[in-house]
Amino acid sequence: MDADTQRLIEAAREAQSKAYAPYSNYQVGAALLTRDGRIFSGCNVENAVYSAGVCAERVAIAKAVSEGCREFVKIVVVTRNGGSPCGICRQVMFEFAPDMQVIIADLEKILQTTTVRDLLPAGFGPQNLS
C-alpha cells in the first residue's frame, strides 16, 4: 500500500469516529486526496428528517471545493462492512473526477479499489450540458 493510501485510510477512520449517525448507527468516514496533495476528510451527518442528512464523501468534497480545490486523485471510504458510496455520492464524485480512484475499506482492510467511472457507468456530467 502506498503512503498516500495509508494516510487516506487513517484520515477516513478518524473521520468515521466523528460521524453523527444516531438513526442508522452506520458511521462512514471518507478522506479525499487533491492533486496538490492535500487531504480533506468527512463523516456522515444524519438528521431526523432523513433526506437532510449528508454522506461522508459529499462532506469531504464540499470541504475541498470550499477551500478552492477541484482536482481530486483518490478517495477512501471506510465503513464497518465496506459499504459502497451511494448513488448521490457517485454523481457528485463524477462531477469533479470521473477517473478518480475509489478505495472502499472496512475497519481492518481494503475490500475494493475501483474508479468513479466504474461505479457510475454512463454518468451524467458537465459535458452533457453542452
Q: Which secondary-structure segment (H or E) carries 32?
A: strand 29-34
71 is catalytic: no
Write out the residue range of the structural domain in which residue 36 sits. Answer: 3-129
Q: How many domains does the chain have?
A: 1
pLDDT given at position 22 = 97
- d(CA 44, CA 121) in angstroms, rounded, equals 25
Mean pLDDT within 5-19 = 98
pLDDT(130) > 90 = no
**CATH assignment at residue 96:** 3.40.140.10
Determine contact, residues 15/54, Cβ cutoff 8 Å: no
Query: Where do we find the cell 475499506?
Result: 105
pLDDT given at position 114 = 98
pLDDT(1) > 90 = no
Please report, for residues 46, 65, 112, 116, 118, the alpha-carbon distance to residue 92 in angstroms, rounded to integers and kept in the order given. 18, 12, 20, 10, 14
Among 57, 67, 71, 108, the active-site one is: 57
Whether the pTM exceeds 0.85: the reply is yes
Mean pLDDT within 33-57 = 96
Q: Which residues pair with 76 in a beta bridge?
A: 31, 103
Q: What is the pLDDT of residues 109-122, one digit of tens each?
A: 999 999 999 999 99
Q: What is the pLDDT of residues 57-92, one digit of tens each?
A: 999 999 999 999 999 999 999 999 999 999 999 999
